[in-house]
Amino acid sequence: MFVARQWNIFEDIFSIDETIMRLSLTERVVAEFVALSSLSPSVSGSVANSLSISGNMFQWAVPIISDSLGVLACTSSTSFPALGVSPSRTEQAISPKTVSLPASIDPACASLALRILTLLIPRIPIPTDVLASSSPTTTSSPTSAASSYFYESLSAFGAYASQCADLSVAGEALTALSDVCTFKTMVDTASVSRFINSLGNSGVLCALRRACEHSNSIDEQYASKLIHLLSVFLRNHLQRAESVGGFPADEFLQLLFKFTFVQESPESFVDCVQLWEIFVDFCHAQQLKGGEGSVRRYREGLVTLSSCVIPALLYSQNSTYLSLLSFEKEDGGTESEWSSFSNACLGLIAKISDLFPSEIVQHVIAIFMANGSSLQQAQNQSKLNAACRDLSTMSRLMGQIAHFLCNVGEIEASLTETTAIVERLLELLRFALSGGNASNSVRNELCVDLFASLRMYIHWLEQYYALANSKSDQYLHNFSILLNSILEVSVSSLLSKDPAISMEASTLLLSIAKTVRPNIVAFPAMGPLLTNAHAVARKVATGETKRNVYKVVTLAIVVPVNSTKVLEEEWNARLSRLTEFFSSLVLGFQSMWNVEGRYIVNPQDPDVRNEVRHLLDAFSAAMSAVNAEAANPKNVVYLSIKPVISLALSLFEVFAHDSEMLLDLFDFTLALQVSLKRQSSRENGTLVVETLQLFMKMVESKGLLQLAASNGNLANNHSSNGTLQNGSSEQHQLHLLDKFLQFLKVMVQDTAKSIEGLLNDIFVFCQYSYKFIAHEDSANETLKLHFYDLLFTLLTYHQRYYFGSTVSRSASMHEREVAGMLEMVANSFSDRNMEVFRHNLAGLNSLNTKCALYLKEFFQKHMMVPFIDLFLGLLILKGHDFMREDIIDTLSKITSCNVSFFRQEYVPHFMSKYCAGLLSQDQATLFHCINSIEDTSNAPQLISSLVSDLIYFQQ
């Protein structure tokens, strides 16, 4: 502590050795103070008093670091601003001074100073009157100027240190500059200009030049730190750099382009691609504000970038580089190195395409059509594998640009060109499916990508079909030939040995049936599927493919052609045909019961279980197929499977201890409630309610909730096609609980009296479930999200039940239930899971929008103070800074809903809880700030200032 009081004995710096001594002592003092001040405001206050300073580390640390910065420079003529700040009070007038810099940078000095920066930067308070926008004011208060000038000094210091010949020191400086970059706000135009000049021109640009001009001597660690700095700079300061002027954006982009393509490792290249994505996102934002002209200056550069990234993805042009990438997924990973690389590059090209579609689309089409014959020309397996991979990449690109070829009103002009593209995709798909010398995995991947790409042209096919119906017969003839070819390839691929291929083929068929909606039954290619659908469904590789098959056949029979009026007689004919199609399945299901309605087969028999699961899948798929359809198609499906509905619901008791079977039963019940609730409620509504009550009891008896509290992540144990990857009974039971939460959510959306009578039971179930599902140690994100969805749905759909009939300010009729559910939501904001936090904050605001929650008398009386305290505490602790603006927005809505009540009830509470022990003038500042809140227009700025001031005063 004595050192801090005596730091001014080193007032004059005569040599590097003395400077190192001074910096070493300063580092020790700063480290000790940071450690002590982290304990509590009272401890930091006592430490500060023992140092004979005013109680805030910022007030004495500024002159220490300011006087120490002068040891670094690039040239003898360089200087940068530092601070002349009185350690007694920062509110005093502040004026920048200039520190002359020596001619060289000593690595030991620089390293010490950088360590001090690392300690100091997180502790510097943000000025309370700064603006978060890119338009700074022309004047500022002395306190704000202190922080601004200090950040200017830090950015200048880091910029000079980054040019040190010692790469390790230069790398440390880049890290320090990244920290400085997090300071987004400045208080006046002059300070912003100086800050951007030192940070951008002297720091970022110089570091980029060094990396480009001496790429051979730059190590991977330095490059990584530079990329991180560029990322933070682009996110936080690109808008400011453009606004204040003086930043050479064109030179910056040229250097970034060069830096991107000198990267030796694919990982670094992907990192650079992500930098470009940040910039392109910025361009999108500018385009939304100022139209296409606002980003025209970047057109040539970004189109060139796109044209250079595409060859980087192709083995025919970049095989040496791409051979470094693995195609195998690492343990626990979701994608391979190649997938990460290609997804990043394709994502960037897609975003640039959205900015400048005409140039990118034509360029991609030209490359695709030119590479289309590469499969036939490949002379050996190695070249064939490379050609397959290149065509996989190009087919994904063609899928990305498909929506640009579907512009309404322009389809006829580009009909020939787009038809040629689709035909080429089909040609390649046929060739790939036929085999050849390519390895199975590479060929199968190409088939999957080609199917996926064809699916991207569904909306184009839909418009082509509409055009053909309005034009001559030749148009319709050409369309029919093309669509029949697509159907033929898809149907023949359903029984592929590769599950991914059959899945993609079935998905394409389903898209055609749902979106294009032709008279699909009339196409010859559909014959083999329509006549053998049951046999195909039993042979396909996955359950999802099987369900797609039944959805396609159901839609083919019950959905009329677009814009066609269907007579009553035709609906009867459709009903007869669908009833005939499902008759064998319905009879097979009914045969498991005797005439008295008793289940007569052994539920433990594996063959019986498999048959029941198959039949439930088929019936569920038929119901799901018509979810978005009108009443007539739904009536047809309901009448076709009506005999099995009550029988299926009765199986809950038969398979009460079979988690896997219960999952299928819940899929069936969910499909019934979502798709055919109106059709089935009269005859089966009571049975569904009884099923709900039965399962609420089963959940407790089976210990599913205890399992949820101790088990790992549910989401990671589901494959992309919806089947379980893990066959353990524990995982089945977790999925069963998740299905039940989804079922409950669907059920409570019904406002019928029968459901209203169950609301209290459902609330009791939620109360009991909460302590297990929301347990802090539970990593089960999916369960948590579905549980909180259920709470929000309860309050939203039954607001009259919970709040009474008056929309705005009525007292709660069921205060205990409402308070309990809101308390569960409030407690969730202490959950470490950020996705749960984000989800529930949005849910709370949505509840306010739909139910005027914050205006309810009950909320204001019982919940306003706890919720404001909760969110204010989160802002003070800075634990959720990534959601800072959303939290402030929520606080603004709550505090502004009844300002007089807020001032009467909360302001005194705030002063007693947060302001005790502060100086009287600081208390007055805080009181004035919080008491000035009037409405949502001024509340966000005042709350932000309140939090910053409070943190500042408590240090």
Written as one letter, the residue type at 296 is: R
Residues in the chain: 955
Structural tokens at position 430:
């046929």
pLDDT > 50? residue 4: no
Q: What is the DSSP string of 588-613?
A: HHHTTB-TTS-B-S-TT-HHHHHHHH
Split at pLDDT 50, 70, 90, the class of 14 is very low
Q: Highest mean pLDDT range out of 109-113, 246-250, 316-320, 532-536?
A: 532-536
Task: Identify whether the C-beta of residue 372 lies closer than 8 Å to the C-beta of residue 429.
Answer: no
Percentage of the chain modeled with pLDDT above 70: 76
591 pLDDT higher than 90 = yes
Neighbours of 129 (CB within 10 A): 17
Residue type, 523: F
* CA dist., res. 731 & res. 733, Å (int): 5
pLDDT, residue 699, reads 72
Q: Which residues contact 45 (CB under 8 A, 6 or more apart)?
A: 55
Tokens representing residue 237 in the block: 């300061």
pLDDT at 750 over 90: no
pLDDT cut 90: percent of the chain above it:
44
DSSP 724: B
pLDDT surpassing 90 at residue 413? no
Beta 79-84 vs 95-100: how paired, if at all? antiparallel
pLDDT at 392 over 50: yes
Could you tell me the CA-to-CA distances from 75 to 66, 79, 83, 198 in Å, in that order?
Answer: 19, 9, 21, 15
Note the pLDDT of residue 927: 93
Q: Compute how many other C-beta atoms are within 10 angstroms of the C-beta atom of residue 600.
A: 9
Is the pLDDT confidence value at 322 over 80?
yes
Q: Which residue has the higher pLDDT, 766 or 149?
A: 766
84, β-bridge pairs: 95
- What is the rounded distance in angstroms from the CA atom of residue 706 to the CA atom of residue 700? 9
Q: 298: burial class by Cβ within 10 Å (0-12, 13-18, 19+)?
A: buried
**Rounded Cα–Cα distance for residues 390 and 911 (Å):** 66
Q: Which two tokens stand for residue 702?
A: 């089976």
Element (H, E) at 224: helix 220-244
Helix residue spans in 405-457 (DSSP H) = 415-433, 440-455
CA distance 150 to 511: 60
Q: Largest Cα–Cα distance of the chain, in whole Å?
A: 106
Q: Which residues of 565-574 are buried (b: 16+ CB within 10 A; e: fewer)?
A: eeeeeebeeb
**Exposed, middle or buried by CB within 10 Å (0-12, 13-18, 19+), for 355?**
buried
As to burial, measured by CB atoms within 10 angstroms (0-12 exposed, 13-18 middle, 19+ buried), residue 16 is: middle
Confidence at residue 394, expressed as pLDDT on a 0 to 100 scale: 95
Mean pLDDT of 122-128: 50
Which contiguous run of DSSP H or E holds residue 807? none
Q: Which stretch of 45-49, 636-640, 847-851 has the lowest confidence by average pLDDT?
A: 45-49
pLDDT in tens, 773-831: 876 555 578 889 999 999 999 999 998 888 876 544 444 568 889 999 999 999 999 87
CB-CB contact of 603 with 652 (8 Å): no
DSSP string, 285-335: HHHHHH-GGGGGGGHHHHHHHHHHHHHHT-HHHHHHHHTTS--SBPTT-SS
Coil, strand or helix: which one is 865? helix
Rounded CA separation 568/703 (Å):
52
Distance CA 279, CA 297 (A): 13
Q: What is the distance between the alpha carbons of residues 627 and 382, in angstroms, rounded to a whole number?
A: 47
Per-position DSSP letters for 726-776, written without gaps between them: ---HHHHHHHHHHHHHHHHHHHHT--SHHHHTTHHHHHHHHHHHHHHHT-T
Q: What is the mean pLDDT of residues 330-346?
A: 85
pLDDT of residue 98: 37
CA distance linking residue 249 with residue 787, whole number of Å: 48
Residue with tokens 């000038």: 149
Domain range list for the chain: 1-215, 703-862
Supply the pLDDT for residue 446.
Answer: 94
Give yes or no for residue 871 having a pLDDT over 60: yes
Give the pLDDT confidence score for residue 90 in this predicted structure: 33
Burial-class residue 469 by CB neighbours within 10 Å (0-12, 13-18, 19+): middle
Q: From CA 718, how far away is CA 725, in angstroms rounded?
A: 6
Lowest mean pLDDT, pick from 147-161, 690-704, 842-856: 147-161
In this structure, are residues 486 and 492 in contact, taking their beta carbons and an 8 Å threshold?
A: no
- C-beta of residue 637 within 8 angstroms of C-beta of residue 625: yes
Per residue in 148-192, pLDDT (tens digit) is 656 666 666 667 667 777 777 778 778 877 877 776 655 566 767
Q: Which two tokens stand for residue 472?
A: 């001559």
Mean pLDDT of 244-252: 82
In this predicted structure, the answer to whether residue 12 has a pLDDT above a threshold of 90 is: no
Q: So what's the pLDDT on residue 831? A: 79
